[in-house]
Amino acid sequence: MLELAILGFLSDHPLHGYELRKRVAALMGHVRPVADGTLYPAIKRLAAAGWVTRKDEPGAAAAPRRVLYLTEDGRAELERRLREPADLDISDENRWFTLLAFLRHLDEPGAQAAVLRRRLTFLEEPTSFFYDGERPMAAEEFADPFRQGLLVIAQATSQAELTWLRNTIADLESTPAAG
């Protein structure tokens, strides 16, 4: 998820680590802050894989910067990760939102629609959080207001997303294929 975000941000502009950190923090930091000890090893991994290159530049305000550039291999890797996301990228909200933030870098509307369809399929699956034996329990069955809330919120959330997904898939599939 972090690696995807790095590849995605670098796909827009070359960035140095500090700026990258700020963008990553803006995207998902309010939900799950990213520590330096997570970011820099991640950059190192991507560099070792040949997906980003580093160039030293004098610092604008302070210490010298190591500006990161996405390589051609890196762009291909980004596309691969967007085109064929893991199941966890589809089901986990944090990962899914990160994917969504960079899905425009997949430039075929058909491929974009295919990814949205996977999320649609996932959200359309009937799932319950709690069971009475085999039988899924509805919100109204709980005396517990917190479990009620859990189900009510989850339902409202997925309704909003389902609406958006269906509209956007329809738009994408009515778009003539990009040339």
Partner DNA sequence: TCAATATATATCGACACCGAGGTATGCTCA
Partner DNA sequence: TGAGCATACCTCGGTGTCGATATATATTGA
Q: In which element (H, E) is residue 114 found?
A: helix 109-124
Which residue of 12, 13, 50, 59 would you call a contact of DNA, by CB under 7 A? 59
How far apart CA 89 and CA 54 sit, in angstroms, is 28
In b/e form, how buried is each residue of 50-64, taking b as 16+ CB within 10 angstroms? ebbebeeeeeeeeee
Beta strand residue intervals within the chain, DSSP E: 15-16, 52-57, 65-70, 131-132, 135-136
Q: Choose among a second copy, DNA, none what residue 63 binds, the Cβ cut-off being 5 to 8 Å by kind.
A: DNA
Question: C-beta of 63: minimal distance to DNA in Å?
Answer: 4
- In the bound state with a second copy, the residue whose beta carbon lies nearer, of 49 and 156, is 156
User: CB of residue 122 vs DNA: minimum separation in angstroms?
Assistant: 16
Pick the closer one to a second copy by CB: 47 or 162: 162
* Residue 44's binding partner out of a second copy, DNA, none, with CB under 5 to 8 Å set by partner kind: DNA
Contact status: 35 vs DNA (CB under 7 A)? yes
In the complex with a second copy, the residue whose CB is nearer, 72 or 125, is 125
* 60 contacts DNA (rule: CB under 7 A): yes
Burial of 162 (0-12, 13-18, 19+ CB in 10 A): middle
**Span interacting with DNA, options 31-39, 111-119, 133-141, 165-173, rule CB under 7 A:** 31-39
Q: Is 32 in the site for DNA (CB under 7 A)?
A: yes
Question: For residues 66 and 69, what is the distance between their CA atoms, to the nearest angstrom?
Answer: 10
Which token pair is 55? 């160039």
In angstroms, the CA 79 to CA 179 distance is 17
Please give the structure tokens belonging to residue 110.
């058909």
Smaller CB separation from a second copy, 47 or 103: 103
Three-state DSSP class for residue 175: coil
The contact set with a second copy (CB under 8 A) reads 23, 26-27, 30-32, 88, 91-94, 97, 100-104, 112, 125, 127-131, 144-147, 149-150, 152-154, 156-157, 160-161, 164-165, 168, 171
